[in-house]
Structure 1
Amino acid sequence: MTPPIRLVLVDDHAILRQGLRSVLEREHDLVVVGEASSEAEADAVVRATRPDIVLLDLKLSAGSEFEGLSLCTRLSETYPDTGFLVLTTFLDDDLVVRAVHAGARGYVVKDVDTTELVRAIRGVSSGGSAFDSRSAAAVVRSLSGRNEPRQQLTDREVEVLRLLAAGLSNSKIGEKLYISATTAKFHVSNIMRKLEVSRRAEAVYAASKRGLI
């Protein structure tokens, strides 16, 4: 029989690692041989287990910016036979491309279904690359150089965005700007549409990367 694909899970949330382990080990050809919650733990676990695949989140602590990228760069250079597959909540064209440059062979967003995740793992294990439909589109846009210019935010939307970055809810944003919560929600929806994101946190990240806040 073909040996199983040996996996290491790198994510700072223990519950997520436990859930992933439970789901992935239902597959006959997948086995989790180690887990890590930080860069230091990942270094030690990968060195000890020499897995086929490292399933890697990009953000490994609340106060840092995507240290998973530097970890991926270092480990992929040290262990070139190991495949690195990013599994994260963040989807941004620049971030996907940075992950690829860091040595990742695939990029999958965490709300992907199990079937697609397993397919991505097997694809990377076989020497290929694996991207879900959204991250693949980001790579194509970057490589083709056909990124469409994003629509400009209005002054009011920038005000809303700054309050959004401060963690305010729609109702609190409305109170600050003397508008209704419904109007605040409308502005937030427009901001996310213009920044081409689907979550409030992604909007804040995308805006900060572009110097909007």
Structure 2
Amino acid sequence: MNREQAAATAVDSRIVLVDDHAILRQGLRSVLDREPDLEVVGEAATRAEARAVADAARPDVMVIDLKLSGGSELEGLSLCRDLAAAHPEIALLVLTTFLDERLVVEAVQAGARGYVVKDVDTRELVSAIRSVTRGQSAFDPRTAVAIVQTLAHGPTEDDLTARELEVLRLLARGHSNNGIGEKLFISPTTVKFHVSNVLRKLGVRRRAEAAYEASKRGLI
């Protein structure tokens, strides 16, 4: 491809990096700064910072690690849901150390257009960013296999979503529906819906039984 063809196919992309490790953000920035069509316009280390910079910078793409501030991967999934709801025009690309079939599918369900693992070749990462900028999906070969395998097996009755796991863990700590709603910033009605799904999927009828069953399965 000559220079004129490259210019014609170039996609200008404004990017925000979301990772709780500054050194990793710096490394990513140094890689992306070498690409003339990619520009890093912001960084964030926490879920709150990511929401704020999304509001302020209005980037084209946000590259997001699932595990933020020493928390669980659920925090990154929740951030994807927040951003997908508030800024559907922003392409979300998960870049994380976790290669897990269920996480890949949940990330997509949470609004991510792509999912790549941190040890991916830098050329593949740049290609993934350009793909999601154009509205396409982007997965490295391993995550693509994970999605295919999960779809082939199909969902099972007791697969809990990321949000249902969050609700379950708070339920097990004795929080009421109102208390869970306050912590997760969702309405008590929504909490009741999730609790009903949790009870059904765990095959129990009461909240205490759900906590016991979840403990046996290692979910909490």
* TM bracket, shorter-chain basis: 0.5 to 0.7
Which digits, 9 at most, give the CA deviation of each residue in 1:83-118, with x for residues without a partner? 000000001100101100000000000000100000
Give the counterpart of 2:19 among 11, 14, 17. Answer: 11
Contact 1:108/1:131 (8 A) holds in 2: yes
Q: CA deviation at 1:63?
A: 3.7
Q: CA deviation at 1:145?
A: 1.8
Aligned equivalent of 1:190: none
Give the counterpart of 2:105 among 91, 97, 105. Answer: 97
One-letter amino acid matched to 2:37: D
TM-score normalised by the chain length of structure 1: 0.67
Distance 1:22 1:102, change over 3 A: same
Q: How does 1:1-213 map to 2 (within 5 A)?
A: 4-145=12-153, 211=218
Q: Taking every aligned residue pair, what percent have the same amino acid on both sides?
A: 66
Q: CA deviation at 1:4?
A: 2.0
Task: State the distance in 2 between where 1:111 and 1:58 align.
Answer: 15
Where 1:60 maps in the other structure, the secondary structure is coil
TM-score normalised by the chain length of structure 2: 0.65
Alignment RMSD (CA, Å): 2.1
Task: State the distance in 1 between where 2:11 and 2:133 align.
Answer: 12
Contact 2:11/2:130 (8 A) holds in 1: no
Contact 1:36/1:42 (8 A) holds in 2: yes
Where 2:34 maps in the other structure, the secondary structure is coil
Q: CA deviation at 1:211?
A: 3.8
Which digits, 9 at most, give the CA deviation of each residue in 1:136-195, with x for residues without a partner? 001111112279xxxxxxxxxxxxxxxxxxxxxxxxxxxxxxxxxxxxxxxxxxxxxxxx
Task: State the distance in 2 between where 1:53 and 1:145 align.
Answer: 31
The number of aligned residues is 152
One-letter amino acid matched to 1:21: R
Task: State the distance in 2 between where 1:15 and 1:36 align.
Answer: 12
Aligned equivalent of 1:196: none
Q: Which runs of 5+ in 2 are unaligned?
A: 1-6, 156-214
One-letter amino acid matched to 2:101: D
Contact 1:53/1:84 (8 A) holds in 2: yes
After the TM superposition, which parts of structure 1 deviate over 6 Å for at least 4 consecutive aligned residues? Answer: none
Contact 1:60/1:66 (8 A) holds in 2: no
